[in-house]
Structure 1
């Protein structure tokens, strides 16, 4: 029987056993009959001092949580106390207390023993001499026990974000815990974050605020990060690695801190064998020579060897092969054949280093190979990766998975994983500032990867961590129990998370708020509103007017109105909350929503300023210019508000990151006319300008008929509803799957159909991205997208999150009723908008046709 824990994250609910926390005078449920509740107030936490250090860490965190929830002080003890009640936390085979209970038959751990990161939570009477009653948390391994203890904390209402987003711990009366619980192993074995591009947030905050004495990101910061990971049921960390930051291993305490939290250290695609060649302290070309294995192998080998020797006492995942310095390709003008030869030698040498310092076969050491950017080309050209190494498939940096396992790769012993971005610095444009990745999009791509076998390793690029809180929570909840989600429920995950913190009655408001926040950013992220491209042709690198229009269909006006509505609403919610809840709401969603509005207002009103000038309306041009300036100032004011929260706790954390070459953070050019007073303008849509005569947008969410594996999905696309033409899975069969739509009466003989689809990559070399379109049951026109990363087409498509295909069809002008059919050909294609034009046909590409 499934019972939901009070305060438990909606996606973290585990089936098949009981873990429930009740507060106050709420009567015990019928399902709890026969289970005596445990009152944590006044108990103490008992652990074996010889157990893993993470047990002590988790016990201390749990003790603090109990104190804050119950108001009664508690602590950690290594020995039982007489006439007491206790919470016993320990690892099977490493805790004499847990093992004693198992030996005498008081605790059954047979289901979880030998499992990966599993735990049981049970109430035991008279467990040990002197203890009348105990809540016993037993872990199959060190992290399992820690997760078990902290899952009780979460059920008592302690948010994983109690420190990182300042979610207050609510004081509760009469806390009662009902428990007879055994967890399953997580869906994904290794789950972690990569702190990346820390230059503009985490580093300034740590160096000038949290670790001011060190002046860097160091062990105090990493301890907080690792505590967060424990509460999220994560188990690995890829530390910050830019040259501006001291390398992780340059502060020796950091690795010990991570281990004390049970957190595995991994590294990005840039850092072979835990070695950070971007940091001058680690690799200085003036001292060490060129990072080139052909010409400088002895020095590079010695660096990797020394790092593995240093890190060997701890649990790590080692990145194999090598790229260039930092995020560059391999040094040297090498042919593809030579690259393969060199990387084969590198991997062989690296495995020898692992065996030398770890004292076991390399096949027994966790290793990853990340075919990132140009490395994927080398892999596809024939680089042989030892079968026990986990292949970690990256997205294209914008959330679209580039390659997933084919049938051969799915059989590899080492399995595979995913490296996914919700933050990125690079071409065509950075998005380092806010998190605007829709949960449905993240789920669709990650679940697809999981179904293709990527269940060994999930790493999320989180930039500076803040303000990524909700995306991080969604990622880890999915990685822990992917089956708790589907493509329909995932869109409610973050609103439920907010409602659990700020009030269940606000759930509908949070749903609407987040839906509109993600929808508006889907067509253009706030960071892209300057319309500049980065590291591109000089003409494209400058701020430019947007493609949104104040005249044609009013999409600019609609956009500003919608942003203003959600900005006002989140401000209103903040004003309704008690003081203790205002800071966390501002951090998690208030700042992102209000700052997004102001960034859009800045650029769109600057654009309107120029448009009014071209029309000769200088008074309204001045008004629009003033609005743009006010928006620019408002962003700065929001940054100051963020950095001054809670007495300056987050001082230095929030800015508008400029990356290395971005310009969106600047004030766009405006022209103000002297001696002309501004007059009040309006940006609301004007109804008489919204006519679309001779053109219609198909309501893709309301097909007249659909068959087969056709999904209508909320939470994605330009209009926040999409048609998924079957889920992309290795065994998917979408033959005959169609969605049929009625079209309006059209007195013409030719129509143009424009279809906007998500720019998805083929899953692997054996797959395609085809879908079909037909009108009135005629020939099927087929579209297919094979993106070439870094091409102009790919850049445009990732910035707008869409492909665009145009088809021309001949129709019978005498026929009043017409239909349009979307045909599934390759599973998983997602259509987000269909426009039918019969009034103003333009030259258009007519795709190939195929009979199905």
Structure 2
């Protein structure tokens, strides 16, 4: 819940500008001068503040520097600057009486931003709350939290004045919320001889830093940085030091990296044997999981539990194993995982566990046959296309969460461009909120860049679902807000282009309609040119392609006109975020129609 400042709710309610909305234009008398010619500021952070707060101070100083050209110094005590920005976690320093300590205390991640004379106070109920106060201030003075992916640069100011502010923010709706960048197919380095990224290579630390920074600026508190790639301790250490819980996906039991069982020699290193078999190598599997806990015990971690294969598929029981025996082994394995973690990880805070009801497990749980320890957070899955497969009908005295896909790489690629749109997100997260599955939300964003719009929407919902999802029609409200936030004078036309996009690309399969018919037509042309029987595309297929061609042409024309009113960087983002998705299907659609003309051409020479 957001209180006290009239503009404060806009980030969650999508009713007005957010980025730069606290900058005061004009007279200095009613604001706090963060930067001006001849006037310096400093950021004060106690030496014993949490590393998450220290990192937030580094980002805040850099942000002010990007706006004004002069980054304030970060000091442990006041050093004489005119304006002082204090980052303080309750209990770790003195704060003004106007700080609502009694309101903040005990409420996870709550924070307050308060101006008091020439002082700006960024105070959190805990370290994450303090850090989020800094990230909130950065956006309100002009920094796009998604700048790494949108390319937006802040407005330059020689004088930066903050409005008088008292911004009080309560705890988030979803307690643990974060991003999973599944399927790192283009990220590992070095490249293979064939020119493709080496699958078992390293993803650069620079990329992880960008990924973590984005999560923090969106006030997320959790990341799953790995799927199928080499892991390096400095990556998850960075996440934890910056204030993010390190977790992983459903088959990465106890963060043990089953992908590396053979590939990286982890089974040999951990003395875990050579087979992933509970009946013949139970001790080895337990030792493998112990390795995951030992490597990550001192981090902020959330521990997945369960029983799956060493690859992302169902555990391979021996033939004719009864369902009852499978369920017995599952519970035995999970109980063992909880015991391992409690034996090796610190008891304070108490370890957090999740179990994802993925694939075969959802039906078993819903039938009542699957037993999961009550302290484990149950994570409900979507259908990989942003529609929830299941949600709790009763909380049953336990915590629930969700695993949600904006994209992923699978049998049919669901990356390329964002398809799970705001209308789907609003509908499904309303269901999630109403079901009470609000303890945990892991969002699969694949390589993130193409999915920033809906990622921002989910982040805002995750912090204050009631405000974001009410009143009616939150998706329209969000698209309108987003368009104004990023496209300025072209906002109204951008809204229309987003509507075109949603209408033409409502499912991931829609981006392959044209290319699928190109494949069919090329097959038929190959037959024709080799003297074999061939057929033109079916009449209804040609009619469908012709209709799409007309609709894409009209949508692209509207989008091109819309872009003319935008700044150069807004126009570039609009091209990548809106127009490119349309082109991915439109160009193959046009090609399929041309190939069909060749199939229908009586003269084989002219068909060429």
Could you say whether these structures have the same fold, taking a TM-score greater than 0.5 normalized by the shorter chain as the test? yes
For the residues of structure 2 that align with 1:509 and 1:178, how far apart are their CA atoms? 34
How far residue 319 of structure 1 moved from its aligned partner, in angstroms, is 0.5
Structure 2: which 5+ residue stretches go unaligned?
518-534
Structure 1: which 5+ residue stretches go unaligned?
29-35, 126-132, 533-543, 619-672, 678-852
Give runs of aligned pairs for residues 55-204 of structure 1, distance below 5 A. 55-82=53-80, 84-93=82-91, 95-96=92-93, 100-101=94-95, 105=97, 107-125=99-117, 133-172=118-157, 173-199=159-185, 201-203=186-188
Classify the secondary structure of the residue corresponding to 1:360: coil
1:480 aligned partner: 463
**From 510, 524, 527, the counterpart of 2:494:** 510
- Give the direction of change, closer, same or farther, for the CA distance of 1:459–1:599 in structure 2 (3 Å limit): farther
Aligned residue-pair number: 568
2:352 aligned partner: 366
Deviations, residues 672-722 of structure 1 (Å, cap 9, x unaligned): x42469xxxxxxxxxxxxxxxxxxxxxxxxxxxxxxxxxxxxxxxxxxxxx
For the residues of structure 1 that align with 2:4 and 2:577, how far apart are their CA atoms? 30
Higher relative contact order (CA 8 A, sep 6+): 2
**From 408, 426, 430, the counterpart of 2:410:** 426
Return 173-182 or 512-521, whichever deviates more: 173-182
2:32 aligned partner: 38
2:215 aligned partner: 229
- Give the direction of change, closer, same or farther, for the CA distance of 1:60–1:604 in structure 2 (3 Å limit): farther
For the residues of structure 1 that align with 2:404 and 2:265, how far apart are their CA atoms? 26
For the residues of structure 2 that align with 1:490 and 1:206, how far apart are their CA atoms? 41
For the residues of structure 2 that align with 1:76 and 1:55, how far apart are their CA atoms? 12
For the residues of structure 1 that align with 2:15 and 2:296, how far apart are their CA atoms? 36
Alignment check: 8 A CA contact 1:6 1:20 kept = no
- Give the direction of change, closer, same or farther, for the CA distance of 1:13–1:412 in structure 2 (3 Å limit): farther
For the residues of structure 2 that align with 1:256 and 1:557, how far apart are their CA atoms? 54
Q: Over alpha carbons, which structure has the higher Rg?
A: 1
2:521 aligned partner: none
For the residues of structure 1 that align with 2:9 and 2:66, how far apart are their CA atoms? 15
- Give the direction of change, closer, same or farther, for the CA distance of 1:528–1:171 in structure 2 (3 Å limit): same
For the residues of structure 2 that align with 1:467 and 1:308, how far apart are their CA atoms? 33
How far residue 116 of structure 1 moved from its aligned partner, in angstroms, is 1.1
Compute the TM-score of the two structures, normalised by the length of structure 2.
0.85
Asked whether 1:347 is paired with 2:334, we answer yes
Deviations, residues 632-658 of structure 1 (Å, cap 9, x unaligned): xxxxxxxxxxxxxxxxxxxxxxxxxxx
Alignment check: 8 A CA contact 1:526 1:596 kept = yes
Give runs of aligned pairs for residues 192-341 of structure 1, distance below 5 A. 192-199=178-185, 201-203=186-188, 216-242=202-228, 245-247=229-231, 251-279=232-260, 280-281=263-264, 283=266, 288-333=273-318, 334-341=321-328
For the residues of structure 2 that align with 1:519 and 1:401, how far apart are their CA atoms? 21
Give runs of aligned pairs for residues 422-501 of structure 1, distance below 5 A. 422-427=406-411, 429-483=412-466, 484-486=468-470, 488-501=473-486
Give runs of aligned pairs for residues 598-677 of structure 1, distance below 5 A. 598-603=587-592, 605-606=594-595, 608-609=596-597, 613-614=599-600, 616=601, 673-675=604-606
How far residue 144 of structure 1 moved from its aligned partner, in angstroms, is 0.9
Alignment check: 8 A CA contact 2:514 2:587 kept = no
Compute the TM-score of the two structures, normalised by the length of structure 1.
0.62
Deviations, residues 552-600 of structure 1 (Å, cap 9, x unaligned): xx54333222222333444444455444444433333343333343244
- Give the direction of change, closer, same or farther, for the CA distance of 1:136–1:348 in structure 2 (3 Å limit): same
Classify the secondary structure of the residue corresponding to 2:84: strand
Alignment check: 8 A CA contact 2:5 2:166 kept = no
1:385 aligned partner: 372
Alignment check: 8 A CA contact 1:513 1:566 kept = yes
1:721 aligned partner: none
For the residues of structure 2 that align with 1:45 and 1:476, how far apart are their CA atoms? 27
How far residue 425 of structure 1 moved from its aligned partner, in angstroms, is 3.1
Alignment check: 8 A CA contact 2:403 2:441 kept = yes
For the residues of structure 2 that align with 1:563 and 1:219, how far apart are their CA atoms? 40
Deviations, residues 516-564 of structure 1 (Å, cap 9, x unaligned): 11111116420455459xxxxxxxxxxx99999366xx54333222222
How far residue 376 of structure 1 moved from its aligned partner, in angstroms, is 2.0
How far residue 445 of structure 1 moved from its aligned partner, in angstroms, is 1.5
Classify the secondary structure of the residue corresponding to 1:101: coil
- Give the direction of change, closer, same or farther, for the CA distance of 1:599–1:231 in structure 2 (3 Å limit): farther
Classify the secondary structure of the residue corresponding to 2:95: helix
2:526 aligned partner: none
1:25 aligned partner: 26
CA RMSD of aligned residues (A): 3.2
Alignment check: 8 A CA contact 2:494 2:562 kept = no
Classify the secondary structure of the residue corresponding to 2:540: coil
